[in-house]
Chain A
Amino acid sequence: MTELLTNSRFANPDEAFVAIVDAHRGLDADASATLNARLVLLLANHIGDLDVLKAALAAARDGLSPAEGA
């Protein structure tokens, strides 16, 4: 099983973060959610490893609790 890499991987992490934020510029909440969804799907497919994907999902979900009644 391949491990989820969580050490810093970008030569310039600031630029990577800004690139993602810039992609959301001018979008409302719905369009932003759509962009995120497309991005997740594109990147997940690029990684192409279900174990890594599941590890990333678990890390991302950590600390989020389901809404009342959901």
Chain B
Amino acid sequence: MTELYRRAAVFQFEYRRSPDQDAETPVRHPVVVVGAGPIGLATAIDLAQRGNRVVLLDDADRIGEGSRGLCYSKRALEILDHLGAGARVVAKGVSWKLGKVFFRDDKVYEFDLLPEAGHKMPAFVNLQQFFLEEYLVERIAELDGIDLRWSNRVTALDNRPDGVGLTIETPDGPYTIETDWLIAADGARSTLRDMVGAQFVGRTFEDQFLIADIRMKADFPPERWFWFEPPFHGGQSTLLHRQPDDTWRIDFQIGADADAQKEQEPDRVRARLDRMLAGRDYSLEWVSVYRFQCRRMADFRHGRVFFAGDAAHQVSPFGARGANSGLEDAENIAWKLDLVIRGAAPESLLATYNLERSAAADMNIGHSTRSTDFISPKGPGAVTLRNAVLDLSRRFDFARRMVNSGRLSTPATYETPLSTPDRDSFAGPARLGAPLPDAPLTDGEGNDVWLLDALGPGFTLIAFSDGTPIAPLEGVTVLAIGAGWSDPQGLLARRLDATPGAAYLVRPDQHLCARFRAFDPDLVRAAIDRARGMTT
């Protein structure tokens, strides 16, 4: 989403002069990431954890206020956990699973995200974006290999077949560097996108929303509450989320014609909040007005430049698909680029970044657009039908299923040439091309270990023992279930529909890319080659 006004700082960082600025000739780096928001930070950390040296540039010197990206999905939490920030995010964040939908004065519908037991991460966590950014910045300080440069603004980009030249403006004046690869995670108003001359196509929604973060002592449960036409807000939609530290986030639909500047005046905001909160004490922390777009770049890759997060695609906030899908971008590009840099995969592997993530963006944009059309229907017929669905939802299940206050983020299942098509049939919730479902395991010493924590940094083979020992495979982490590892509750076997002898190959980004009823080292090697883009 695009904010109209600049944010004040929550955390301030110092510009430091880099030796690159004093170099005679431009210094060449293997990877540069532009943008130290959640997506750029995550990409840099993932690459560094894989042993790469990364320069991370950000034009600001601060982490800005305001909740902004707010709801983190289970998959995003798993990615953050892999990056070393999951425990802090979950500990600080508010876990929730229940959503309630109100129409005028009545509750018409509620949904339970029904988190399954036996996963390390909860269904959803609410956390102000600045906390996530702080944790990721602190994680960077623990790692070798990331050179984070604040107040470094890219002003020119030379995207050549053999590398990328960057001109960077700093408080000490400009300098230039070179890089083999560039990841642009510079947000919705990406200047790098303009610099490569990329098309950015899709729909702009005229409706404006006013966001307020307020501090309030209230005993409301940690639930997502959405109102259609509530009496306290003159017939427009309102969304309430709980955040840590007695902070609440409220999004008011204020229409296409509202004066954004005027609506942010504290007295006007308070008047709206007073009508909603009916006498409760609260303090106003942060206010912003946004409009949003549902659109994406035609191609997330331009030569040696890869676009990720809001720079590549934008959605409406209803459904929590912005930051969550951006984190999925980060995990997708990081392992592929790492293999290519190390010479362990051909450059053609990188083409699958756009293939996999643009399909995911289309899915997210589709959900997001349909939610928005339901939340702010256009034209008298659409309003009548929307309200008819809400009316009928009081009585009929089919109508409740049509109520769309935002379909919450689910991870993408990749239809990809990197997956080996199933030769055997499998049931169960695991899907080829989707992230592997987590499960509680016990290791050889009897310790409880989550499956996702047990996966190796590269490819992992999960082999259900039929008594035959599995010979080691070079560069592959093998989890032999029933021979060293055990699946005490049988949850993993159920989730993977495993039978003795079955084997599952997992990509470095934890997506399932091949599975066999019977382990055969040649088939597994062929599947790894395929997943590295060696064969097509």
Contacts and interface: CB of A to CB of B under 8 A. Distances in A.
Interface of A: 33-34, 37-38, 40-42, 45, 70
Contacts of A42: 392, 396
A45 B398 CA distance: 7
Contacts of B399: 41, 45
Contacts of A70: 379
Contacts of A40: 385, 388
Given A33-B384, A34-B384, A41 B389 contact: yes
15 contacts: A33-B380, A33-B381, A34-B387, A34-B391, A37-B385, A37-B387, A38-B391, A38-B392, A40-B385, A40-B388, A41-B388, A41-B402, A42-B392, A45-B398, A70-B379
B379 A38 contact: no
A33 B388 CA distance: 10
Nearest to A44: B398
Interface residues of B, number: 14
B384 A37 contact: yes
A45 B388 CA distance: 13
Interchain residue pairs A-B with the least CB separation, the first 10: A37-B388, A45-B398, A38-B388, A37-B384, A37-B385, A33-B384, A41-B388, A38-B392, A41-B392, A34-B384
Interface string B382-404: 00110111011000101100100
Chain A interface, DSSP helix/strand/loop, else mixed = helix
Contacts of B398: 41, 45
B389 to A, nearest CB: 6
Which of B385, B388, B396, B399 neighbours the largest number of chain A CB atoms within 10 Å of its CB?
B388
Contacts of B385: 37, 40-41
Given A42-B392, A42-B396, 18 more contacts: A33-B380, A33-B381, A33-B384, A34-B384, A34-B387, A34-B388, A34-B391, A37-B385, A37-B387, A37-B388, A38-B388, A38-B391, A40-B385, A41-B385, A41-B398, A41-B399, A45-B396, A70-B379
Which of A41, A42, A70 neighbours the largest number of chain B CB atoms within 10 Å of its CB?
A41
B345 to A, nearest CB: 41
